[in-house]
Amino acid sequence: MKITQKDVEYIAHLARLEVDETLVDKFAEQISSILQYIDKLKDADVSGAGLMAGAALQSNVFREDVVKKSPGPDVTLANAPERHEDFYTVPRVVG
C-alpha cells in the first residue's frame, strides 16, 4: 500500500500531529513499506475466527458506585501547563 506525502499529512492531521517537512518524504516511504508488509494479513484465512480485542479474561469488572474522597484540584491540576484557579486554560477553542 503506497502512501504519499499528502496521505501522511492528512493522516497526521487526523491524529492532531504535524510532521516536520524534512521528515514527510522519509515517513511516506517508511510507512508505505510497513503497510505493504501489513497487507499480508489479507492472505490470512480468518473465516470462523472470533475477534480478540484484549488478552484479559474477558468479562466486565464492576464496583459499587460509592463516593470516595478525591485528591482535590491542587493535586489533579499540579501539572497543568497553564492554570486559572481550578481550571486548565487553553487557546481559543471556538470562534
Partner 1 sequence: MDLHELTIQQAKKGLATKEFSSVELVNAMLDRIEKLDGDIGAYISIDTDGAKKAAAEADERLKNNDHAPLLGIPVALKDLRCTIGVKTTCASKILENFIPRYDATVVSMLKSAGAVIIGKTNLDEFAMGSSTENSGFHVTRNPWNRDYVPGGSSGGSAAAVSAQMCTAALGTDTGGSIRQPASHCGVVGIKPTYGRVSRYGLVSYASSLDQIGPITRNVSDTAIMLNVICGHDPLDSTSANIEVPDFTTALAQFQTESLKGVKAGIPKEFLSLKGLDPDVEQAFNNAKKTLEDLGVEMVEVSLPQTDYAVAAYYVIAPSEASSNLARFDGVRFGLRVGEADDLIDMYKKTKSKGFGAEVQRRIITGTYTLSAGYYDAYYGRATKVRSMIRDDFDRAFEKCDIIISPVAPTPAFKIGQNVDDPLTMYLTDIFTLSTNMAGLPGISVPCGFSSKGLPIGLQIMANRFDEMSLIKAGYGLEQTLDVKPKFPDI
The residues that touch partner 1, with contacts defined as CB under 8 A, are 3, 8, 11-20, 23, 27, 30-31, 33-35, 37-44, 46, 49-57, 61, 63, 71, 75-82, 88, 90-93
Q: Distance (Å, rounded) from C-alpha 88 to C-alpha 71? A: 16
Least gap, CB of 44 to partner 1 (angstroms):
5
The counts of H helices and E strands in the chain are 3, 2
Beta strands in the chain (DSSP E): 83-84, 87-88
Query: Is residue 8 classed exposed, middle or buried when 0-12, 13-18 and 19+ CB atoms within 10 A define those classes?
Result: buried
Least gap, CB of 20 to partner 1 (angstroms):
6
Least gap, CB of 5 to partner 1 (angstroms):
12
> Among residues 41 and 67, whose Cβ is nearest to partner 1?
41
